[in-house]
Amino acid sequence: MEECFQYILGLINEAIPDLVERTDANNAGQIDQMAAKAIKAKVLFFRASPFFNGNREYFGDFMDTDGKPFFDVEYKQEKWKEALDAVNDAITTAEANGKRLYQYTREPYAYDRDAFTRNGDNMKTLYNLRMLVVDPWNEELVWGYSNLNYYDQGEFAHSSNIRLPAGYEGVVNTAAFSWQWMGASYQMAERYYTKNGLPIEEDQTFDKSTMHEIITTPGAAAPEYTPLLGIMQPGAQTIRLYTNREPRFYANLGITAGYWRAHIVRVNTMMFSGTDGGFNSSVNNTDYIATGIGVQKFVHPESQSGAWQRTIKFPYPLVRMADLYLMKAEALNESSGPSGQVYEEINKVRRRAGVPEVQVVWADPSLCRSPGKHLSKEGLRDIILQERSIEFAFEGQYFWDMLRHKRAVTAFSLPIKGWTHTGTTAATFFVLQDKQPRRFTITDCLWPIDLNEMNTNGKLIQNPGW
């Protein structure tokens, strides 16, 4: 395994001097020094992680033909220092070329102007988060995937977009390029923080015993509705779980009593069967969000139905600045434990997300059930991994984060849950169901070598368990 890492790193080091520091707009997506250094940092980041660094638990008896372990079974602390050096180099190059955390600077859409006037700070945060992936080639993107087969059709955009319901202007009730295929699991809806920047099980102001209770949001004229203006619908039925959550919850998901910005309109999503965003057998009985929770993170507000030309294309984010900052936080913590510098890297991302700083909330016994968790390396590791799982939700990072920390077996062996999508009322919709069984074992952490390869070369050794 170490030989593989060194081979890859050697090729990257060989290539970097011959690459331009930053590609021009006409070659966006091509590898430049900025992207290559970020990739190198990722490789070293994985190399230092517990799955690859000292993993005697999984692979202590996985030997080559000479009787030597394939994996480095002795943990080496210095690998984190090497990863940290590479992350710092990647950040320095990226920042020198104008990369930074995304901020939305244009005028809001017409349907949000009143909300921006009356609820400005919350709406600015919402737009920063809502647009950071779908605003093409923006200042946060260090390396984006622009493969033509994906980019030309806007696959993620129309796979997760909801159909435009009747009653709105546009191409209504067509499944074409608004497939409603990709939804969020119920577990993801729980994973986002509360408004206090804490996991729901850690926030003393959040009552898990009543979180599925059906409630009605404040009316439009009520003073308590003002902070919800543009974020939640007034006077609409929902559940307590969907209230008092952090801004990324509302920017990334499509929820009951929330809003879905697409088709150049703002859709009042309810997600019940027969309502906006929900299952509708009269239109299409196979294309629907099975969990009743949508993902609007990949849908540009101007993406429409009916033809691929109406879908706003953007590169899928492979590495963005938030990733580098949180990688730096993790590498620092693993190298030398909690510190003000670690907190600062995490807080860069949290400030943009509109949640309190990590050392503030985790030190407050009136808010936090486990005050001081951020003061230990192990506790801060958990906090960083949850921060990553929220910030990069649906971006393909969580699987690898769980794998490299040897948490995949636990994380991916629970059934995927969701609401009863055929329910037509809050009472019949908000009933949790197991949507798909899952089983993940240590064997699944490595993929099998193809039998054709094994038959061709008798000296190959199959991965454990296959």
- Per-residue pLDDT tens digits for 393-402: 999 999 999 9
On whether the pTM is more than 0.85, the answer is yes
Q: Which of 252, 227, 258 is nearest to 121 (CA)?
A: 227
Query: How far is residue 395's CA from residue 156's CA, in Å, rounded to a whole number?
Result: 11
CA contacts within 13 A on the Cβ side of 40: 27
Give me the number of domains the chain comprises.
Answer: 3
pLDDT < 70 stretches in the chain: 148-153, 173
Q: Are residues 423 and 406 in the same domain?
A: no
Q: Are residues 272 and 230 in the same domain?
A: yes
pLDDT at 153: 67
Query: How far is residue 253's CA from residue 231's CA, in Å, rounded to a whole number?
Result: 11
Q: Which of 75, 87, 73, 7 is nearest to 44 (CA)?
A: 87
pLDDT digits (tens, 9 = 90+) for 376-388: 999 999 999 999 9
Domain end, chosen from 65, 99, 133, is at: 99
Q: Are residues 68 and 195 in the same domain?
A: no
Domain end, chosen from 55, 74, 99, is at: 99
Query: How far is residue 160's CA from residue 364's CA, in Å, rounded to a whole number?
Result: 38
Q: Which of 187, 195, 163, 189 is nearest to 177 (CA)?
A: 163
Q: Are residues 32 and 172 in the same domain?
A: no
pLDDT at 177: 81
Q: What are phi and psi of 325, to 5 degrees?
A: -65, -40
pLDDT at 285: 84
Torsion sign across C-alpha atoms 244, 249, 254, 258: positive
Domain that holds residue 199: 105-411
Residues 6 or more apart in contact with residue 462 via CB below 8 angstroms:
448, 449, 454
Query: How far is residue 21's CA from residue 84's CA, in Å, rounded to a whole number?
Result: 21
CA contacts within 13 A on the Cβ side of 144: 24
Cα dist from 43 to 8, 48, 385, whole Å? 8, 9, 18
The answer as to whether 227 is a domain residue is: yes
Domain end, chosen from 76, 99, 122, is at: 99
The answer as to whether 446 is a domain residue is: no
DSSP H stretches of helix in 301-434: 321-336, 340-353, 358-361, 377-391, 398-404, 408-411, 426-429
Q: Are residues 276 and 138 in the same domain?
A: yes
Q: Which of 258, 295, 248 is nearest to 132 (CA)?
A: 248
Query: How far is residue 245's CA from residue 355's CA, in Å, rounded to a whole number?
Result: 10
Q: Are residues 258 and 401 in the same domain?
A: yes
Query: How far is residue 181's CA from residue 298's CA, in Å, rounded to a whole number?
Result: 12
